[in-house]
Structure 1
Amino acid sequence: MAHLLGAEALHLKVPTKTVFDSVTLGVDEGDRIGIVGRNGDGKSSLLMMLAKRREPDSGRVTYRGGTTVGVLDQEDRFDVGETVGHAVVGDLAEHEWAGEVRIRDVIAGLVADLDWDAPIESLSGGQRRRVALARLLVGEWDVLFLDEPTNHLDVEAIAWLADHLKRRWPANQGALLVVTHDRWFLDEVCTATWEVHDRIVEPFEGGYAAYILQRVERDRQAAVVEQKRQNLARKELAWLRRGAPARTSKPRFRIDAANELIADVPEIRDNVSLQAMAVARLGKEVVNILEAGVAFRDAASGEDREVLRDIEWRLAPGERTGILGVNGAGKSTLLGLISGAVEPTSGRVKHGKTVKIAQLTQQLSELEEHWNEPVRVVIGQLRTSFTVGSGSKAQELTPGQLLERMGFTSAQLSTPVKDLSGGQKRRLQLLLILLDQPNVLILDEPTNDLDTDMLAAMEDLLDSWPGTLIVVSHDRYFLERVTDQQYAIFGGGLRHLPRGVDEYLELRKAEERNKASQGSAQASVAPQASASTLSGAELRAAEKELSSVERKMDRLQKDIVKARDGLALLDQSDYTLLNSEMAKITAMEAEVASLEDQWLELSERLG
C-alpha cells in the first residue's frame, strides 16, 4: 500500500513532563487507526503533530506530495455570524452541492433537522458538533484526523458516522486517524490501534477487541507489570467474547488464543449472588411505575404538554436496565419518576420501604460543598469501608483503596477537589455516591471525561455492586457492558428492546421514514403553514416569552464564544485548568440546548 505520511523521531515536552521521546510512525493508504491511552498521555498532541497543527520540539512530519488532510479539533470553531448552511457548503450554489452524492449524504445524516439559515451561535453543543463534522466530511480528503468526533453525539449520530467512515473510501484508499473513548466506535471503524503510554506509541493490529487481546498477551509476558490493568483487560476481553454477539460472530482476532486467555476468568457478573444480595437489601418491591403519565403545563398557553403516557414498569431487585431515546423524548422525566423528583400527573409511582436511591447526574453538584477540600478529607468524612463482590468473594475496601481502584494516585489525595481534572471529578462523584451505600443507582451520562482504562475500572466496580441499576448513556459500549436489557422511549411510551441498541436504531429509522412520508402527504394537501390560533392575550404572552428566551440564548452564546476565545490564552499544558474551563462551557451549552427546545415550542405555537 502507498505511503501517505510519516513521523520521524518526534519529541515533545510540556513544562511538567516529557510527552513523547523519539517516536517514529507511518500511515499508509487504507489505514484506519484508533488512538487510545490515558487522559493526559498525549493522544490529542500526537494527532495534532501528525496533522501539522502542532510543532514537535524536535523530529519532523512529512506528507506524500499532493496529500490532502482534513482535521476535526475538539473545539468547534466558526466565524461570528456564520449560518448552518454557509458553514457546511460555503458559497456553493444549491445546484452545485445538491448534485454531489457525498454532500447530500452528509447533510441528510448530520444536519437535515437543523434550520439551514440558523446562526451557529444559536445552536446547542451537540448541534454545533454535527455542523463541524458535516463541514469537514463534505470535503474530499486523503487523510482524516478526528479528535473526539463522538463528543455530544447521540447513539444514532454515532452509528451514522461509523457507517459513513466505513463507506467513505474504496478499500485500500484514504486514511483515518481517530482519538476517541468510544470503544464501540473504535471496534466498528478501526483496523489498527495505537496505544499512547509512557512517552511511546505502541501499535496493535485490529480494532478495540483485538487491541485488548494483544494487550493481555503483552501484560502476561511482562508478568507483574501493571497487574491491575491486566486483570481489567482480561475481564473486558471475557465480556467481549461472551457477551457481545455483534463482536463474537466476527473473526476479528484469533478465537483460540482468546478462549485460552479467558479460560480461567469467571463470568463478568455473578448475577445469582448479586440478585440474592439485592433482594436482601431491597426486599421484593423496588419501584413500581403503574400506568403513569407526565404532562407539563405551558405557562403561556395554559395547556398541558404530554411527555410520558401509560408507563407500566416494575423495577426488580438487581435489575440492570439501559434507557434509550432521542433528546427530548422524556429520558430525564422517566429518571425523575424513578427517583421521586417528578410526580406523575396520571397513574402512580410506588417506592419500596427500604429503597435508597442515588443519582449520578451530568452536573457536579455533589462536589460543590467540598470544592476547596483535599480529596482525602472528603473521603475521610464518609464511611470507613465499602464492600465489593458477594458471597465468598466479598471484599472490604477502605475509601483509600477504593480511590486507588478508580485510578487516583497517593499524590492526588492531597489535591483540592476544584483542581481535579474533569475525569477525576467524575470518578470522585461516583465514589461519593457509592460510599453512601444506595440500593438503587441511576447513572445519567456517566462516561463523560473518562478514558478507556477508567471506563473499564468503573465497569469493574459496577460489576460487583448489588442493587438496581438504571443507565442513560450515548456510549453504546458502556450501556451494553453494564446493563442486561434495554428499553426505549417512543412517542411517550416505554418499549422493551429484546435485540438492544440495534433494534432501537432500526425502529428510529422506520420512525423517520414514516415522518417523512407523512410530511410529504401533508405538504401536498396544505402547502401553506397554518397561522397561530392563539387569542390576543395569549399571543402577546407567547411573544414576550419568546423574546425573553432569545435574549437569554443570545447572552449565553456570547458568554460561550468569550469563554472559548479565552481558552486560547490559557496555558495549554495546564490540563486541570483547561478541563475546568471546558466544564463551564459544557454547562452553558446544556442550558442553551434547553432554551432552544423552549424556543422551538414557542415558535410552533406562534405559527
Structure 2
Amino acid sequence: MPAANLVSAEALTVVHGSRTLLDGVSLGVSEGDRIGVVGRNGDGKSTLLRLLARQQEPDGGRVTHTGGLRMSVLAQADALAPGTSVRDAVLGDLPEHAWASQPRVRDVVAGLLGDLGASDVGGLEAAVDTLSGGQRRRVALAALLAADPAGELLVLDEPTNHLDVEGVAWLAQHLRTRWAPGAGAMLVVTHDRWFLDAVCERVWEVHDGVVDAYEGGYAAYVLTRAERARVAAVTEERRQNLLRKELAWLRRGAPARTSKPRFRIDAANALIADVPPLRDSVELARMATARLGKDVVDLEDVTVARGGRTLLDDVTWRLGPGERVGVVGVNGAGKSTLLGLVNGAVQPDGGRVKLGQTVKVATLSQSVRELDEVADLRALEAADRVAKHVRLGDRDVPAGQLLERLGFTAQRAWTRVGDLSGGERRRLQLLRLLMGEPNVLLLDEPTNDLDTDTLAAVEDLLDGWPGTLVVVSHDRYLLERVTDRQVALLGDGAVRDLPGGVEEYLRRRAEAKAAQVAAPAGGGAGAAGAGAGRERPAADGAAVRAARKEMARVERQLDRIARTEEQLHAQLAERATDLAAVTELDGRLRALAAEREELELVWMEASELLE
C-alpha cells in the first residue's frame, strides 16, 4: 500500500525583489518521509518550509494538507514569550512528578537543557530573557519535542544550531527513536552533514528556483549529484559535437555515414575509483616543516583557572609542523581558552607556552567584527588589501580565484563588504586570514552560517594548505574531514587524545554520565554494580549462545540488505531520468530500510544478553 500523502505543493512560485526563489515547484511529503533540505544560503530553503507549513503564501501555486494534519514547526527565530521561565516554556503547567515520571520528557530535558542546570529547580526557573541565543534555541527545541509531536509532520529549520557534538548525536538518536517507520514525517533544513546522514532518507536540494530530489542521506546525495553532473556534461558535449557536425555539413555538404557514438553510465562508485587521496599528508608535512621548523607550539605544565574553576590543570600538549587537530568538548571546558593559549590571547596561571621562532598564528574567531574596518570596500578589494596572491601547496593563487573557489560570483566579488550576507562575510573572513599566509591556523567554530556547498569548498581549500591546523567545532563531519586526529576536553582539566575519534568522545561522555547517575543511587561503584546485578540477572550459558547465534544471523541479513541497497542505488543513478523506474526502485529501497530497522532492533535485543 502506498504511503499516505500529507502535504502537496503544486507549481509554487515565490519572487523576492528581482529574484525568483521558487519557479513552478511541485512536490509532496508522504507518511514516513525523512527529508533533509539543503542548498546555498539565500536560495529559498526556509521559504520552502514556511510555504509547506502554510505560514507564508506563495506568489503562485498552492499547498494542500491532508485532513486533520497536525504539525510541529521549529523556525529559525524562536517565539519564546518574554518573562517566561524555562519550566513554563518547556513543560507548561505540568507538576514535577508528572513530567519526571515520563522517560521521554526526562530524556528531552536532560539531552537539551543539561547546561542550564535542568537537574535542579534553579535551572528550570531561569527566565528565558536571561539566556544566551544558543540557550534560547535549545529551550525552543526542547519545548517542541517535549510536547510529543510523534504521529504528525515535524518541520525543523536548523535544529542543530548551537548544539555541541554530543547534543547533535542525542538529537539524531531521539529523532530516529521517536520517528520509527510509520510514525509521521519529518522535514529538516540543516547544514550538518553528519546529521543528514544519521537522520534523513531523502534529500531535497533547493537551487536556481527548482528543487531536485535525491534518495538517501548526504553521502548518497553527493554521489548521485556528481553522477547527474557527469551525465549532463556528456549530454552537453554530445550536443556541441552535433552542432559542430551541423556546421561542417553546411560548409561541405552532407557528411559521410558514420556510426553513432555510444555512451555508458557507470555505477556511482566508479565516480570516485580514480580520485586521489584528499591531501598528500607527507608533502604537506614536508612543506610545513620547511616553513615552521621542528618546534611549533608547546604547552608545558600549563594551568588556567577562570571564575573559580580550573579549566586546564598541569597540561602538557605539543603541536608539530603540519599537524591537523580537531578539538571537541563540553561547553565551558576550555576549548576557546586552549586556542587563546596558542595565539597569545590567554596567559597561563602556571607553566609556560613556548612558540617556535617562525610561528605566525591566525585565528578565525566566532564573530566577524574584524570585517567592520573594511565594510565600505568591495569583497575583492578587502582581500587584495591583505595580499594579491597566496601560496597554496606549490603554486600562487590570486585573490580573485580564491574568492571564486569560496563561492563568490563575479558580481558578489564586487559587492560592498557591509552588504554581504552572514555566510559570505564568514567566507571572506577566512579568505583574508589565508591571504596573510599564516603557518598556524586556529579555527573556532568555522562552520557558522555556511551551507553544505560552501563547507565542501572550504574543506577543499584547507586540503592544500601547508601548515598546522587546530579546529574547534561541533560539526562532526568537518572535524573528521579536515583533521587527522582529535583531542577532547572533558571538563576534568586534561587534554585527552581520542584514537577512536568523535565516536570515542561520545562513548566517554556516556560512561561519565552513567557513572554520575550510578554513584549517588548506589553509594559507590561497588554498590552500583551490585544494584545493576540485582536489576538484571546474568543470562545463563544457553541463552548467551542463542543470543550470539541470533546476532550472527541478523548480521548476515544486514550484509545482504547493504549489498542489495548498493545495487539499487547504482540502478537509480543509471536510470535517473526514467520516472517509472525511479519510483519502483524508491519503493524497494524503502522496504529494505524498514526491514533493516526491524533487524537492528532484533540485534540490539540479543546484544543486551551479552552485556
TM range (shorter): 0.7 to 0.9
Counterpart residue number, 2:398: 398
Counterpart residue number, 1:516: 517
1:120 aligns with 2:120: no
Q: Within 1, Cα distance between the matches of 2:46 and 2:391?
A: 37
Q: Which amino acid aligns with 1:23?
A: V
Counterpart residue number, 1:282: 292
Q: Within 1, Cα distance between the matches of 2:235 and 2:368?
A: 34
- Note if contact 1:129-1:153 (Cα within 8 Å) is conserved in structure 2: no
Structure 1 residues 57, 226: CA separation in 2 closer, same or farther (over 3 Å shift)?
Answer: farther
SS at match of 1:46: helix
Correspondence list, 1:118-517, <5 A: 118-141=126-149, 142-223=152-233, 257-296=267-306, 305-389=309-393, 394-490=394-490, 491-517=492-518
Q: Within 2, Cα distance between the matches of 1:201 and 1:165?
A: 24
- Note if contact 2:112-2:138 (Cα within 8 Å) is conserved in structure 1: yes
- Note if contact 2:441-2:470 (Cα within 8 Å) is conserved in structure 1: yes
Counterpart residue number, 2:14: 12
Alpha-carbon displacement from aligned partner over 1:100-138 (angstroms, at most 9, x marks no partner): 443232223222433111111111222211111111112
Correspondence list, 1:525-604, <5 A: none
RMSD: 2.0
SS at match of 1:156: helix
The alpha carbon displacement at 1:329 in A equals 0.4
The alpha carbon displacement at 1:407 in A equals 0.9
SS at match of 1:461: helix
Q: Within 2, Cα distance between the matches of 1:508 and 1:172?
A: 32
Q: Within 2, Cα distance between the matches of 1:398 and 1:505?
A: 41
- Note if contact 2:12-2:24 (Cα within 8 Å) is conserved in structure 1: yes
The alpha carbon displacement at 1:46 in A equals 0.3
The alpha carbon displacement at 1:378 in A equals 1.8
Structure 1 residues 518, 226: CA separation in 2 closer, same or farther (over 3 Å shift)?
Answer: farther
- Note if contact 2:33-2:185 (Cα within 8 Å) is conserved in structure 1: yes
Q: Within 1, Cα distance between the matches of 2:333 and 2:81?
A: 32
The alpha carbon displacement at 1:262 in A equals 0.8
Counterpart residue number, 2:249: none
Q: Within 2, Cα distance between the matches of 1:317 and 1:22?
A: 53
Q: Within 2, Cα distance between the matches of 1:82 and 1:403?
A: 45
Which deviates more, 311-320 or 109-118? 109-118
Q: Which amino acid aligns with 1:109?
A: G
Q: Within 1, Cα distance between the matches of 2:191 and 2:419?
A: 23
- Note if contact 2:224-2:268 (Cα within 8 Å) is conserved in structure 1: no
Counterpart residue number, 1:530: none
Q: Within 2, Cα distance between the matches of 1:433 and 1:9?
A: 44
The alpha carbon displacement at 1:363 in A equals 1.5
Q: Which amino acid aligns with 1:116?
A: L
Structure 1 residues 218, 499: CA separation in 2 closer, same or farther (over 3 Å shift)?
Answer: same
The alpha carbon displacement at 1:225 in A equals 9.9
Identity %: 57
Structure 1 residues 97, 292: CA separation in 2 closer, same or farther (over 3 Å shift)?
Answer: closer
The alpha carbon displacement at 1:518 in A equals 4.3
SS at match of 2:233: coil
Counterpart residue number, 2:36: 34
Q: Within 1, Cα distance between the matches of 2:301 and 2:494?
A: 10
The alpha carbon displacement at 1:341 in A equals 1.9
Alpha-carbon displacement from aligned partner over 1:163-216 (angstroms, at most 9, x marks no partner): 011011331331000000000000100000001111111100000000000000
Structure 1 residues 461, 224: CA separation in 2 closer, same or farther (over 3 Å shift)?
Answer: farther
Q: Which amino acid aligns with 1:178?
A: V
The alpha carbon displacement at 1:489 in A equals 1.1
Q: Within 2, Cα distance between the matches of 1:291 and 1:488?
A: 17
Alpha-carbon displacement from aligned partner over 1:317-348 (angstroms, at most 9, x marks no partner): 10000011111101111111111222222222
Q: Which amino acid aligns with 1:358?
A: A
SS at match of 1:222: helix
Counterpart residue number, 2:24: 22
Q: Within 1, Cα distance between the matches of 2:189 and 2:428?
A: 25
Q: Which amino acid aligns with 1:475?
A: D
Q: Which amino acid aligns with 2:26?
A: T
Counterpart residue number, 2:548: none
Counterpart residue number, 2:46: 44
Q: Which amino acid aligns with 2:201?
A: T
Which deviates more, 190-199 or 100-109? 100-109
Uncovered stretches (5+) of structure 2, i.e. residues with no partner = 238-265, 525-611
The alpha carbon displacement at 1:413 in A equals 2.6
Taking structure 2 as the reference length, the TM-score comes to: 0.77
Alpha-carbon displacement from aligned partner over 1:268-324 (angstroms, at most 9, x marks no partner): 01101100000000011111111211234x6xxxxx642211211121110000011
Q: Which amino acid aligns with 2:402?
A: L
The alpha carbon displacement at 1:367 in A equals 1.3
Q: Within 1, Cα distance between the matches of 2:413 and 2:37?
A: 29
Uncovered stretches (5+) of structure 1, i.e. residues with no partner = 228-255, 299-303, 524-607
How many equivalent pairs are there? 485
Q: Could you say which structure has the larger radius of gyration?
A: 2
Q: Within 2, Cα distance between the matches of 1:293 and 1:375?
A: 41
Q: Which amino acid aligns with 1:171?
A: P
The alpha carbon displacement at 1:373 in A equals 1.6
Q: Which amino acid aligns with 2:229?
A: D
Q: Within 2, Cα distance between the matches of 1:295 and 1:5?
A: 54
Counterpart residue number, 1:565: none
Counterpart residue number, 2:544: none
Counterpart residue number, 1:538: none
Counterpart residue number, 1:103: 105
Alpha-carbon displacement from aligned partner over 1:360-379 (angstroms, at most 9, x marks no partner): 11122321221222223222
Q: Within 2, Cα distance between the matches of 1:89 and 1:432?
A: 46
- Note if contact 1:8-1:24 (Cα within 8 Å) is conserved in structure 2: yes
Q: Within 1, Cα distance between the matches of 2:355 and 2:425?
A: 31
SS at match of 2:513: helix
- Note if contact 1:219-1:225 (Cα within 8 Å) is conserved in structure 2: no
Which deviates more, 211-220 or 95-104? 95-104
- Note if contact 1:32-1:175 (Cα within 8 Å) is conserved in structure 2: yes
Q: Which amino acid aligns with 1:451?
A: D
Taking structure 1 as the reference length, the TM-score comes to: 0.77
The alpha carbon displacement at 1:382 in A equals 2.7
SS at match of 1:381: helix
1:60 to 41, 59, 62: 62
Q: Which amino acid aligns with 1:492?
A: G
Which deviates more, 192-201 or 366-375? 366-375
